[in-house]
Every structure is written in C-alpha cells, then in structure tokens.
Structure 1
Amino acid sequence: MSSSANKKIPATKLCAHTLTSMHYRDADLVNDLLGKKTFTEVMFMQIMGREPRGVDMRILDAALITLMEHGFTPSAIATRMIYMSAPENLQGAVAAGLMAVGSQFVGTMENNAVILEQLVQSKDPAGLAESIVMDIKKNKQHLPGFGHHLHKPDDPRSIQLLALAEAEPELPKTYLQALRLLAATVDRVYDRHITINATGAIAALLGEIGVPPRLMRGFAVISRAAGLVSHIAEEQQDPAGRFIWETIDDAIPYIGNGPSAKNNPHE
C-alpha cells in the first residue's frame, strides 16, 4: 500500500453542486437563499458555519459599515494610484488597497482581540490587564485598539458601537467587560485618557458574537473592499490619483548631490 493511501483526503462543507442545483453548506442556493436571505446573512453562515441570529446581523452590520470607509488612508490611496496606472485592472486596484489592511490600519482589531480573549479566559483579568499594559508601555509598543490622531477625547464611533452592543440582551458582555477593564487600566498606567478607537470596539463586538480573533481581519477585508470600489467609482468620475502623485512628487525634495540639486525648489 502506498503512503498516499494513508493520507486524509481533504473535504469541504462550504459548497456542492449537481447538474440542476447548487448548495451553500446545507442550503439550496436557488430555493433557500436567493430572494430570501441578505448577503450579510449568507456571508455569516458561510464563514461561521451556523445560521445567524438577529443580534449577529445587527452587530456585524454595524462593524462592516464602520470599517468600510476611512477616507484617504493608505489603502484608498494605493487603490487610486494603481487604478490610475492600470484602469483596465479594477480588481488589481482593489487588491492593492486590501494589502494595506494590517496591524496598523483597519485590521488592528485582531491584535486587540487577542488581548481581550486572554482577559476573558484569565482567572485574574485585572492583574493580567495591568501586566499587559505595563509591558506595552515599557517597550514603547503600539497599543492595539486605543488612540486616534483625530478623535479626541473619545472616538464617537466607539461610543456608538459599544452602546449598541450593551443594549443587546442576548450578548454575554464578557468581551465588552474585558475591553472596559483594559481601557481603565490603560488610562491609569498612562496617567491620561486614551480613547478606545473603532477597531478596539469592533474587536469586542465581534468577540461577543463568537468570531475568533484570527478571522476578524477577514471581515475588515470584506468591508474595506466595498469602500475601495467606491473610491474607484469616484476616481472614474473625479480623478485624484494624478493629483496625489504630483503632490507627493513636489512635496518630497531631492537632497542628493546630482544635477537636480541646483533646481531644488525646497532649498
């Protein structure tokens, strides 16, 4: 018997089709989903492997709407620049912008969610929160889920998101409590108020509906893809890509010793 015969054969629960039908998990696409379920409901079912409750949809929709658009952030700028360079490649422009969804922008809820999960599972959450925040401060690391360069003293998005979750009787509130504890610890350790930003709030909300930390960034990708398509739609009607390029080219001076140095307008 060959060694390949002993290997487990991969399988999927996501989709199956015949000559006359297609199923998403156990639901018939034509008879159970089309015209009867929303995109968000089917997306949740596919990703999470269970039927969504009403509270799941309200929380997820709030998170997706919040993450969709943040203006001229690195992801939007990347999308516009790539679309300017290759307008025949809309999907490539969106993909370029999605590459910026990471630990510094948009996808930061994942790092915060890891901390919240540790606090939820800890027998001494207050002590653990103190240790985590002290370590972050000591090492001068970025504090995931906290701080914003524009929204001070508090992020209005976070206030609304947390209020929406607190009002849901079906949620256990364990991740919300962990976030509140973490926020209080942050303020005490840093001796000043640091706002919970939108991705910090979203980390708690998605945790409340059972989304694992390592999947949370996926929802950010889904949401931001829609926002990036809107940037392309605007780029088609009112282009900003060339202006961004020319502005940067003019604003960042050449400081070398080549012939262009004598023509440097910034000197």
Structure 2
Amino acid sequence: MTDSLSTEISYATETEIRWRGQDLITDIIGKRDFAETMYLLITGRFPEHWERKIFDACLITLMEHGLTPHAIVSRLVADSNPGQVQVAMATGLTCVGDVFAGTMEGAGRLLLDGLESVDRATWCAETAAAYRAERKPLPGFGHPLHKPDDPRSARLFLIAREAGAPGEVIDLLEQFSAAVDEVYGRHLTINATGAIGALLLEVSIAPEIMRAIAVTSRAAGLTAHIAEEQKTRSGRRIWTLVENEFAYAGP
C-alpha cells in the first residue's frame, strides 16, 4: 500500500480557509504582511520580528534592476502578446538563473559548506584557492557595475545586524571575502545575491529554495515594466533597434 497524497500548506471548507493552520480571514488578512505570509507558507511558521525584517529586505533588494534581460524579454513578449501579461512575466522570469539574479543559491550552498567546516579560516583559504585555480565563477562575488563594493550588500548586512540576526553566516561571508581578496590579489565585491544568500541562511531558508525567492521578487519589478510597456510600446522599438544593429554576414 502506498502513502496517501497530502499537503501541510492549506485547505478550505465551505466556511473557512486555512494556511499552515492559520485562519486566512481572522489570522492573516489585515494582520500580517506579504513577507510574513510568504515566510509562513514556506517554513510553516510566522517569522520572528527580526526574521521578517531581513526576509522583507531580501525580497525588496532584487525587485528591480533596470533594463536587464528579464525586463527586455518581458517587454518584447508583451508587445507580441499584448493581452497576455502572464506570458510576458513568465518569459522574463526564465532569465533568473546562474547569471542574473539567481546566484544566491550557489552562494548559500557555498556558505553552508563553510558553516559545517571544522576550521573556517582554512576552509576560506582553501575554497578561494580552489575557485581561483579552476577558474570557476565565484557565486556571490563580482558585479559589472557596482565597484569597488555593491552598496546593497553593506546595507543588507547592516539591516540584518540591527534587526538582531545571529550574524554567524554574515561573519563567515566577510571572512571568506577577505580570503578571496588575498588569493585573487585584488578586491572582489560581495554582490547583492551573495549577501542575500547569507541573509536567507540567517533566517533559516534553505539554499534549494533561495532562487524561488528571487523569482518572487523579480516578478514584482516585471509588473512595473509591463505596465510601462503598455504605455510606451518600447518592445517594438527594441526589436527595430536590434534588427538594425545586426548586419548580414552570410554568403
């Protein structure tokens, strides 16, 4: 006999709706904000005050980042399917990954490995050296625009510490950053996704689900791009600009 299918997230009857055991009508709507409720659905409990503040800061940080591929793709698809905003949003969200916005997962896994090490100083030095020797991208480090430091990272660390986070993961990331600079012979900025990877670990979010947090965050920003696209019709102009920039080089 197989186990029956089950969920711990929600259920509804004719007279009530419950999410993780909480009554949606009397316990959540009007009493809890979006960040608290999302945290409840993911973890099964409401966050502590300090956890809510950190989780909310993480959601806000990656919400919008200009005309990145996410926004450009969404605008192009919105122009092609003007009556289907969900298609434009879904297409833009596929750009959240190993290059853009989704690298907190790799940073989280890396830091979790460091937390489990016996000698963290040795782990920092050896891990930095291994990434350098193998010429692999270092998750959570580097940014094409924000140099020498990403202003979002410093702000996130400050918010987390002032909120009352234990700080163990943040301390490890900063220790690892110092080792990275020494091994690489130059300063590599801790980018926002690296900082968010650390903060999400501080509030007990597993690396495996971190990228989904980025998807949720970026969806809000893409809503603004699609709303603007409906007014400006920039997608058609972006298409024309790209078409004019490409020259035929075939036989």
TM-score by length of 1: 0.91
Report matched runs for 1:49-68 at 5 Å. Answer: 49-68=44-63
Are 1:29 and 2:33 counterparts? no
Are 1:246 and 2:207 counterparts? no
Q: Which amino acid aligns with 1:129?
A: C
Deviations 1:208-259 (A, max 9, x none): 01100111111111110111111000101122111211111112221111xx
Report matched runs for 1:65-104 at 5 Å. Answer: 65-104=60-99
Are 1:175 and 2:169 counterparts? yes
Cα separation, 2, equivalents of 1:32 and 1:70: 34
Cα separation, 2, equivalents of 1:251 and 1:130: 46
Are 1:39 and 2:34 counterparts? yes
Identity among equivalent pairs (%) = 44
Cα separation, 2, equivalents of 1:125 and 1:215: 25
Cα separation, 2, equivalents of 1:66 and 1:55: 17
Give the equivalent residue in structure 1 for 2:183.
Answer: 189
Are 1:122 and 2:117 counterparts? yes
Give the equivalent residue in structure 2 for 1:109.
Answer: 104
Structure 1 position 95, deviation (Å):
0.3
Of the three residues 138, 150, 154, the one matched with 1:143 is: 138
Are 1:199 and 2:186 counterparts? no
Cα RMSD (Å): 1.0
- The secondary structure found in structure 1 opposite 2:155 is helix
CA contact (8 A) 2:20 2:45 kept: no
Structure 1 position 77, deviation (Å):
0.9
- The secondary structure found in structure 1 opposite 2:18 is strand
- The secondary structure found in structure 2 opposite 1:68 is coil
Q: Which amino acid aligns with 1:191?
A: G
Deviations 1:129-152 (A, max 9, x none): 222222211221111111111111
Are 1:17 and 2:12 counterparts? yes
Are 1:160 and 2:155 counterparts? yes
Deviations 1:134-192 (A, max 9, x none): 221122111111111111111111111111112233x2111101101110111001101
Q: Which amino acid aligns with 1:12?
A: T
Q: Which amino acid aligns with 1:156?
A: P
Give the equivalent residue in structure 1 for 2:249.
Answer: 255
- The secondary structure found in structure 1 opposite 2:11 is strand
- The secondary structure found in structure 1 opposite 2:77 is helix
Q: Which amino acid aligns with 2:82?
A: P
Q: Which amino acid aligns with 1:207?
A: L
Cα separation, 1, equivalents of 2:112 and 2:149: 23
Give the equivalent residue in structure 2 for 1:225.
Answer: 219
Structure 1 position 73, deviation (Å):
0.7
Cα separation, 1, equivalents of 2:161 and 2:223: 32
Cα separation, 2, equivalents of 1:210 and 1:28: 24
Structure 2: gaps spanning 5 or more residues = none
Give the number of the structure with larger relative contact order, counting CA–CA contacts within 8 Å between residues 6 or more apart.
Answer: 2
Whose radius of gyration is greater, 1 or 2? Answer: 1
- The secondary structure found in structure 1 opposite 2:163 is coil
